[in-house]
Amino acid sequence: MRPEEIEQLHNFRYPALYKQLYADGMLNWGAFGPEWYQKIFPTLKEHPPLLLYANDLELLNTSMVADYMEEGMLFADPIHKFVPIATSGAGDWFALYYNLQDGEDVPVVLVWHDSNEACILAKNLQDFIFLQMLETVTDMDTNYPGLLASGDMADNCRKWLQSHAPYLTARQQEIIQSTFAKGTLTSAELRDILEAEINFQWMDSSFPYQEEI
C-alpha cells in the first residue's frame, strides 16, 4: 500500500522524507521468517534498506503499517496519535507522534507495549536515522555484535552509510563516517554528539499514552 493511501484512510500526512524513502524502495526488508537471515539478508547488504543494521529494530513495510492501523494498534487512547514505522524484538513500537508537531518535524517515539509509557527519541525522522546509526556502534557487545558485524563490518558500514546518505545532512554524514571509521563509540561520546548536534527540548522525555482508570 502506498503512503498516500494510508494517509487518506487515517487523516494524517507523512513527512516528505518517509515518502521519499518509500519511493526509493528503502522501506522493505523482505518477508520475515525462519530463513530471512540465510536467504534474504545477504541480498540486502549491497544496498541496505532503512536502518537494516539498527539495534533491536525491525522495519514495518507500508502494508504492515496499514494492517496494524486498521486493527487499531497504538490508538488505545484517542488523545494520542501514533503512526507505527518499526517494532522492537520485544514488541515495542517505534512510531511517528503527531501530538507535538507535524509537517517535517514529526517526532519519533518508542511506545512500550507492556507499560503506559512512550519515550521521545528524536525530533524528526532524519534525526532518528542519525541516532540509530550511531547507537548501533555504541558500546558494542563483542560477544553479540549484531548484524553490522556479520561478514566484513567495515564494508557493511560503508555500504550502509552510502545507501542512507541521501536522507542525512552533510554534517550527519560526516559524523557517522568518522564514527564508523573508528568502529565504536562510548555512551559518553554519543551523548556529547547529540548535545552538540541536536537541539530538541523534548528529547528523552516520556509520557503516559493511556488514560489512567
The pLDDT of residue 173 is 98
Gap between the Cα atoms of 74 and 78, Å rounded: 9
Question: Average of pLDDT values for 26-31?
Answer: 95
- Comparing CA positions, the residue from 30, 7, 9 lying closest to residue 19 is 7
Gap between the Cα atoms of 12 and 4, Å rounded: 9
pLDDT in tens, 111-170: 998 888 999 999 999 999 999 999 999 998 877 778 999 999 999 999 999 999 999 999
Phi, psi angles (nearest 5°) of residue 108 = -110, 130
Cβ-based neighbours of 112, under 8 Å, separated by 6 or more: 92, 118, 119
pLDDT band per the 50, 70, 90 thresholds, residue 75: low
DSSP 102-139: -TT---EEEE-SSSS-EEEEESSHHHHHHHHHHHHTBT
- Looking at per-residue pLDDT, the higher value among 56 and 199 belongs to 56
Task: Report the share of the chain in percent with pLDDT over 90.
Answer: 73
Task: Report the share of the chain in percent with pLDDT over 70.
Answer: 95
pLDDT above 50: residue 76: no
User: Which three three-digit cell numbers place residue 48?
Assistant: 541496505
Residue-averaged pLDDT of the chain: 91
For CA atoms 160, 1, 97, 31, the dihedral sign is negative
What pTM does this model have?
Answer: 0.94
pLDDT in tens, 98-116: 988 777 899 999 999 888 8
The pLDDT of residue 144 is 76
pLDDT band per the 50, 70, 90 thresholds, residue 45: very high
Cβ-based neighbours of 173, under 8 Å, separated by 6 or more: 161, 165
The pLDDT of residue 103 is 76
Name the residue with cell 520485544: 90
The pLDDT of residue 17 is 98
Type of residue found at 111: V
3-class DSSP state for residue 207? strand
Contact 118/111 with Cβ under 8 angstroms?
yes
Where does residue 151 fall: left (phi above 0), alpha (psi -120 to 50 degrees), or beta otherwise?
left
Question: Average of pLDDT values for 185-204?
Answer: 93
